[in-house]
Amino acid sequence: MGKRSLSITGAQRRGSVDPSADAALAKMGYASELPRNLSMLSVLGMSFAIMAVPFGLSTTMYITLTDGQSVTILWGWVLVSLISLSIAASLAEICAVYPTAGGVYYWSAMLSTRKWAPIASWVTGWLTLVGNWTVTLSINFSGGQLVLSAITLWKEDFVPNQWQTVLMFWAVMMVCMLTNIFGAKYLDLINKICIYWTAASVLIILIVLLSMADTKRSGEFVFAHYDASASGWPAGWAFFVGLLQAAYTLTGYGMVAAMCEEVQNPEREVPRAIVLSVAAAGVTGVIYLIPILFVLPDVTLLLEVANGQPIGLLFKTVTGSAGGGFGLLFLILGILFFAGTGALTAASRCTYAFARDGAIPGSKIWAKVDKRFDIPLMALVLSTAVDCLLGLIYFGSSAAFNSFTGVATICLSTSYGMPILISVLRGRQAVKNSSYSLGRFGYAINIAMIGWICLAVVIFCMPVSLPVEAPTMNYASVVFAGFAMISLVWYFVNGRKNFTGPPVPQDVAPGEQVLVPGMALDAEKEGPAEVPTKDIKV
């Protein structure tokens, strides 16, 4: 790479009131360009919004209804919640040491030796970039399907065609993009509102379903019923395939590391938000799922819904009216707005962070911050365009959503696993003094999580049910391989010669703080205003 300017004039931009965080970011090799106007509660809200528990569980319900029903739905959720909490804690431990928008991509580089930092950061960066893009795609694509499913509440024979589905998906993407552009200064408020909207929605749905249901399932059905006959898989394996519902929903927590450069005291607040959001999501999921299982209508009827989104029919059946069903569905669609907007925000910041180190074709374009809106506008446009183009896969596969959820889960899970694996291989030296250290349980938790991620890569490439035909195939592995090929080709065309990873100017020990020449030794006391402009050649 060429020179990276570390001018501190950006530290005086609008919204920045944390000079010590800007100075710490400069020590990691980057100029602070984005306003620090997000709070911990806002980042927690964004993470909570991206996971969008009621929305994510509703749009993927067909998976667990096929692969095990009650046991997979409820206990699969509890199992994956505990696993996700452990992964979140492992990431928070590292985030407290390296709070930068590069997230897992930057962490992999810093935890590696200087020799291996470029390739480690390249692989991790592309995994997290594709993961951010595809999780945003899957949220908004399923959101488009859910909007169209509302029509069937009144017109039961309505079956949206491929063009209607794709156009609705594009409309949802446009709403999320425009919110990110023109509502950028309100993102803090939007993320906080998400927490209250989701909590109120879950409570309202719980009360309405339990009070209006004519009949209720038994406790044995809710907590112990297992039926995977519709899957075609062996009974035991179907349970693992069905974990995609929970794993997909509980995936986006690591994406908010990309917001580190927009938060005050990020080394404290962002790790806390990552862990708390997963804990809150796990509890929310249990509260949401148990009432649904108690009032669950005939499963065969739900699985016959043409567009694969049975939640609207479930609400209509239980409330006894299309209006009542839509009222509850509207609450879920509200969560879609927060989820789609938050996911696109995180994806654009991830794109911006990766581009400023020259790892994406046309990096100079995507790495610019638009001064009118104080956001990386072109990175936002690129993320939106990529997702809109990927939505065209639906014309070739009616099970495209399976592919989107699978590849999103695989990419984000493996991107989380890379820095954890490198940390373990280097003796966890970088995190031994972390303010969020896992202590003596660190090795066991990290190794167990790496094992889970390896298993997840296999099971989430599986189709939901057998037998499989071309239109119903899970193309997650194909999409994954396609992006891997783009990454590989670009590495040999450009990256091998020019990409050196994040600005680590020397081979440092894991966790060792790197001082930029000319930086004040005590950033908290002297602040960035006394730091002269410097260029680092990396």
Closest CA to 84 of 206, 304, 291, 250: 250
Structure tokens at 241: 């395939």
How far is it, in rounded angstroms, from Cα 528 to Cα 468? 59
How far is it, in rounded angstroms, from Cα 465 to Cα 462? 8
Bridge partners, 4 (sequence order): 536
CB 57 within 8 A of CB 245: yes
- Give the pLDDT confidence score for residue 487 in this predicted structure: 85
H or E element, residue 535: strand 535-537
Closest CA to 448 of 197, 89, 42: 89
Per-residue pLDDT 10s for the chain (538 aa) are 333 333 333 333 344 455 666 676 676 666 666 677 677 888 888 888 889 999 999 999 999 999 999 999 999 999 999 999 999 999 999 998 888 777 888 899 889 888 888 888 899 999 999 999 999 999 999 999 999 999 999 988 888 999 999 999 999 999 999 999 999 889 888 988 998 999 999 999 999 999 999 999 999 999 999 999 999 999 999 999 999 999 999 988 887 887 777 788 888 888 999 999 999 999 999 999 999 999 999 999 999 887 788 999 999 999 999 999 999 999 999 999 999 999 999 899 889 988 988 888 899 999 999 989 989 999 999 999 999 999 998 887 777 777 788 889 999 999 999 999 999 999 998 898 898 889 889 999 999 999 999 999 888 888 888 888 777 777 788 888 888 888 888 888 888 888 877 775 444 454 454 443 333 333 333 333 333 333 333 3
How far is it, in rounded angstroms, from Cα 125 to Cα 101? 12
Bridge partners, 68 (sequence order): 227
Q: Where are the domains of the chain?
A: 41-498
Amino acid residing at 447: I
Q: Which residues contact 345 (CB under 8 A, 6 or more apart)?
A: 46, 180, 187, 259
Q: Which residues contact 304 (CB under 8 A, 6 or more apart)?
A: none
Q: Return the SS3 of 7.
A: coil
Measured CA to CA in angstroms, residue 104 lies from 75, 233, 333, 373, 484 at distances of 29, 35, 31, 26, 18
**Fold (CATH) for 41-498:** Amino acid/polyamine transporter I (1.20.1740)
Amino acid residing at 157: D
Max Cα–Cα distance, the chain, nearest Å: 73
Closest CA to 275 of 103, 95, 433: 95
How far is it, in rounded angstroms, from Cα 373 to Cα 176? 15
H or E element, residue 266: helix 266-294
How far is it, in rounded angstroms, from Cα 398 to Cα 404? 12
- Give the pLDDT confidence score for residue 504 in this predicted structure: 59
- Give the pLDDT confidence score for residue 491 in this predicted structure: 85
* Cis preceding-peptide flag for 234 (omega within 30 of 0): no
DSSP 357-373: TT-STTHHHHTPPBTTT
How far is it, in rounded angstroms, from Cα 488 to Cα 483? 9
**pTM as predicted:** 0.85
CB 431 within 8 A of CB 266: no
How far is it, in rounded angstroms, from Cα 497 to Cα 481? 23
Residues constituting the chain: 538
Q: Which long-range contacts (CB under 8 A, 24 or more apart) does 521-528 make?
A: 523/19, 523/20, 523/23, 523/24, 523/27, 524/20, 524/23, 527/19, 527/20, 527/23, 528/8, 528/11, 528/19, 528/22, 528/23, 528/26, 528/32
Q: Return the SS3 of 164.
A: helix
